[in-house]
Amino acid sequence: MVSLISVFATAILPIVSVGGVGYLLGRWRSIDTAALNTVIVYILAPALVFYSLATTTLAQSTLLRTGVAVIVYHLLVIGVAAGIGRTLNKSETAVAALMLIAAFPNSGNYGIPVSNFAFGSTGRATAAIYLSVQGVLLYTLGVYIASRGGRSNRLAGIKRVFTVPLVYAVVVALLARGLQVVPAADTTVMVTIKLVGDASIPLMLLVVGIRLAQTDIGSTLSAVGLGVGLKMVIAPIIGFGVAVMIGFNDPVVAKTFVLESAMPSAITPIILVAEFGSGDVAGVPVAEFVSAAVFVSTVVSIPILTVVIAILKSGVVL
């Protein structure tokens, strides 16, 4: 019971609290989140990922294995979600939404604190690497998926990849690490970058809350079941299989990878479909559909993650 309370207090309560403030604000005032989306995509998120990648202390071999594992996991889940969506004759917009909901876990503002609680500093560092690599995928492959509601948008989606600053932030961070010219964490430039990056987390949560306030959750709940099931049941199983296949040298890194893969749907896809997407799913705008899926997956993740953490910490697997 103490562990359950600690998980809730350190990882879930902050998310619920900030998102709740955004929800109340959205109910009180009519707010257009388009400008906030642009600030996150083009300024705050690149700073967050740059700082995480530039300052990690994990070994290069661990960094490489984790990066490969994250890429393989996302490609597999995207493939499974796309296959299921098309088998069920879902629209192109619905298939894109399913891929984003199922493949991209909330590895940052949710995953990092949970991983830190479960597996300490190694868990936190592994989660940061997971977030960094996923960030690249989100703002490349994720942008393409979000913009492919119609076939005519596919080329435009690819072109938009090269307008997203996060891609260049990752390249600069990797070059700085390779050349060993990353400034110390306490220098003005790094403190500033960290400050800007950290601002993305609460702002993302506020945007989610505002969007939830604008969403008719009741009419959308029944439609998000497939996406939530893919994210909270199928995706963790795929994550476990990838961890076994990659063969991490450090069991704590392997367990953290599986735990990150079991996180609820990420917040960022809401921002991506709002910025790049179009079309409806189940009779509601795609951004509202994804918002509802994020909400539901976050709620159901409380008992699911408790079981996942218990299994991983027991040593029965990995």
What is the per-residue pLDDT across 144-196, written as a single tens digit (0 to 9) for each? Answer: 888 875 444 556 656 666 777 877 888 898 899 889 899 998 999 999 999 99
Q: Number of helices (H) and strands (E) in the chain: give both, helices first.
A: 18, 2
Min mean pLDDT across 62-66, 217-221, 223-227, 284-288 is at 217-221
Secondary structure of the chain: what % helix, strand, coil (to 5)? 80, 0, 20
Q: Which pTM value belongs to this model?
A: 0.82
C-alpha angle 114/118/122, rounded to 5°? Answer: 95
List the domain boundaries for the chain: 2-314
Tokens standing for 252? 């704590």
Place of tokens 């830190």: 116
pLDDT digits (tens, 9 = 90+) for 60-85: 788 889 999 999 999 999 999 999 99
Residue 151: what pLDDT? 47
Q: CATH 3.40.50.300: does it fit domain 2-314?
A: no
Residue 155: what pLDDT? 60
Residue 83: what pLDDT? 96
Q: How far is CA 19 from CA 130, 272, 278, in A?
A: 23, 18, 24
Residue 196: what pLDDT? 94
Contacts of 279 (CB under 8 A, 6+ apart): 91, 92, 93, 149, 150, 285, 286
Average pLDDT, the chain: 85
What is the Cα gyration radius of the chain?
Answer: 18
